[in-house]
Amino acid sequence: DGGITQSPKYLFRKEGQNVTLSCEQNLNHDAMYWYRQDPGQGLRLIYYSQIVNDFQKGDIAEGYSVSREKKESFPLTVTSAQKNPTAFYLCASRGEGLYGYTFGSGTRLTVV
Amino acid sequence: AQSVTQPDIHITVSEGASLELRCNYSYGATPYLFWYVQSPGQGLQLLLKYFSGDTLVQGIKGFEAEFKRSQSSFNLRKPSVHWSDAAEYFCAVGALYNQGGKLIFGQGTELSVKP
C-alpha cells in the first residue's frame, strides 16, 4: 500500500545537537510538507516542497532546514538554532490538487 | 488574516448521543475544507473534505459536515457517537495558491466519550 513513512517514531536530542527526521513517500506525490504540532496550537507549516530540488519556507522555518534531492524523500533537520524543538513533527504529501493530502504517523522529538 | 477557529477545546458526550464540533474560518476566498481525526501519538486521518458542490458532505465512520458560506462555517456532526470516536479532531482549510497548498489548522477539539 502507498503511504508516508516517518522515522524514527521517538527521538531524543541533547541541547546543541542537530537531528534529522526522515520522511519517505511512495505515493508519487510532487508536493511534500513538514508541520509541527504543539499541544493546543494545531499544526503549523515549517517547510514545503512542490518539486525536486526546490523548497520554500513556511510559517515557522527558523531553526530548521530541509532538502529534496529525490521525489520520495523530504528529510527535516532540526538545528541547534531552534530554541524550542520539543514537539510532534508530521510530514505530509499531496498529489494533484488538494485531493490526496496524506499525513505520516509522526515523530516525537524531545530535547533532554 | 487566514485562520481557523474551533471554539470548543474539549467536549464530552455520552455514548450514543449526537455530536457537533464547530469550525469557523477566515479566508480570502472559498477554500478547500477538511476535517481530520488524530488518536494519541498518531498521524492525522482524513474524515471528509469539501471542495465544491453539495454543501453536505459525507465522510468515513458515519461523520458528515455542512459547509455554510454565509456563516464561514464547516461543522462536523455524527448522529450517534461510539466510544472509539474519542480522539482529537482538527478542522483545516487550504488553497493551491497559498504557500503551495498548505493547510491552516484549528487548535483542535478533544472529544471524550462517556459510557
State what percent of residues in chain B have pLDDT above 90: 79
Closest A-chain CA to B49: A99
Mutation to test the A interface, candidates B24, B103, B109, most A Cβ within 10 Å:
B103
pLDDT at residue A112, rounded to an integer = 86
| pLDDT band at residue B98 using 50, 70 and 90 as cut-offs | confident
| pLDDT band at residue A1 using 50, 70 and 90 as cut-offs | low
Q: Give contacts of B96 with chain A, Cβ < 8 Å.
A: 97-98
How many beta carbons lie within 10 A of that of residue A18, not counting itself?
12
- In this prediction, residues A83-111 reach a mean pLDDT of 91
- In this prediction, residues B44-54 reach a mean pLDDT of 93
Does the CA dihedral A78-B99-B49-A41 come out positive or negative?
positive
Which of A35-44, B13-22, B28-37 has the largest mean confidence?
B13-22
Per residue in A21-61, pLDDT (tens digit) is 999 999 999 999 999 999 878 899 999 999 999 999 999 99
Q: Smallest CA–CA separation between B14 and chain A, in Å?
A: 23
- Mean pLDDT is lowest, of A53-62, A74-83, B15-24, B89-98, for B89-98
- Between residues B2 and A87, the one the model is more confident about: A87
Q: Give contacts of B23 with chain A, Cβ < 8 Å.
A: none
Q: How many Cβ contacts (< 8 angstroms) between chains A and B?
A: 68
Distance CA(B16)–CA(B39), nearest Å, equals 20
Residue A70 CB-density burial (10 A; 0-12 exposed, 13-18 middle, 19+ buried): exposed
Q: What amino acid occupies position B49?
A: K
Mutation to test the A interface, candidates B99, B104, B110, most A Cβ within 10 Å:
B99
pLDDT at residue A91, rounded to an integer = 97
- In this prediction, residues B79-103 reach a mean pLDDT of 92
Distance CA(B58)–CA(B84), nearest Å, equals 19
Q: Smallest CA–CA separation between B65 and chain A, in Å?
A: 17
